Amino acid sequence: MTAILRSSVIRKTAGALATLFGVAVFVFFMLRAIPGDQISASLGTEAAGLTEAQRQALVEYYGIDEPLTTQFFSWLANLFAGDLGFSVRAQQPVLDLTVAALPVTFQLAVFAILLALIIGVPIGMLSASAPRKARDFVGQAVSLLGLSIPAFLLATTLLTFFAVNLGFNPNGLGYKTLFEDPSVNLQQMFLPSLVLGFGISAPIIRTTRAAVLEIRGQDFIRTARAKGVKTQRIQFRHILRNALIPIVTMTGLQFGYLLGGAVVVEQIFSLPGIGRQVLLGIQQKEYALVQSTVLVIAASFVVINLLTDLLYRAIDPRVRAE
């Protein structure tokens, strides 16, 4: 490992750790800024009938009688020991809940990204092949629709249409993993992946179009055309290959966003993913659940960014040279 590469690794690792620490501080103190506490969230109106001794016992049980800084560093110490906390609502360790929920969101994100690339890259290339012509306007219209239609509206519309008109609502069967029942699982993932994939395809269309237009104007493309290289070979071997860096960057960002931003779609389609877990945790004031789950999402985002950097080196020799 060269000195430059070693320095880059150290710098990126330090940046990742600083990011995770900042997320931990932000989530911890923002949760406690929300009115209410775990006692009122778990008991509701019955909390008003607690005696002082009962309330004090619950305060000690939830560990909210200590100063916030003490609670924060105690939570961090437990994290380093592999203890993400305990969910009172589910009566399970947060680690077990996260291990069960993360693969659901990860599968949904992978399917959505694949659909977004299948939709976005071809449309972006077609749009860039004839700037300011009919196909370009169609491509930009598709991207505008993807950006402007809210995910909850598209999800509700599709779910209602398929359920009422086609009798298709596999989410009503209860969630099945890919290993338990592949057929049911793929049916349950189809509509939410389509909703998220269509929304993500919009920035991919625009990124692909802009990158392709920039590459098309380069000297080596004009040279290839002058040499008589076939148009199809130019499109895929020269233009698309050199336009991959911004496309990969956008894809990595969107994939990281999906790990925590799919909460609305997961809720509508009753998928027990990581986003829905955070939502339920906020509603029940499950501090340990929300804090640890958000930190897992942030760590996943950081890892995806690091993998994206490695992918740059694989697809672009210029990055390897640097």
- For 34-80, what is each residue's pLDDT tens digit? 766 666 656 555 555 566 676 667 666 666 667 778 878 888 888 88
The answer as to whether 124 is a domain residue is: yes
The answer as to whether 128 is a domain residue is: yes
Structure tokens given for 291: 């804090």
The answer as to whether 8 is a domain residue is: no
CATH number at residue 116: 1.10.3720.10
Mean pLDDT of 2-9: 65
Q: pLDDT tens-digit profile of 108-119?
A: 999 999 999 999
For residues 108 and 266, is the Cβ–Cβ distance under 8 A? yes
**pLDDT the model gives residue 13:** 79
The answer as to whether 236 is a domain residue is: yes
Q: Which residues contact 103 (CB under 8 A, 6 or more apart)?
A: 177
Query: 283 in the Ramachandran plot: left (φ > 0), alpha (ψ -120 to 50) or beta?
Result: alpha
Query: How many structural domains comprise the chain?
Result: 1
pTM: 0.80
Structure tokens given for 292: 């640890």
**Distance of alpha carbon 263 from alpha carbon 280, whole angstroms:** 10
Residue with tokens 């925590």: 260
The answer as to whether 172 is a domain residue is: yes
Domain region containing 151: 95-321
The answer as to whether 60 is a domain residue is: no
The answer as to whether 282 is a domain residue is: yes
What single string gives the DSSP state of each residue in 169-220?
-GGGG----TTT-HHHHHHHHHHHHHHHHHHHHHHHHHHHHHHHHHHHTSHH
Q: How many CB atoms lie within 10 A of CB 149?
A: 15
For residues 252 and 304, is the Cβ–Cβ distance under 8 A? yes
The answer as to whether 104 is a domain residue is: yes
pLDDT band for position 317 (50/70/90)?
Answer: low
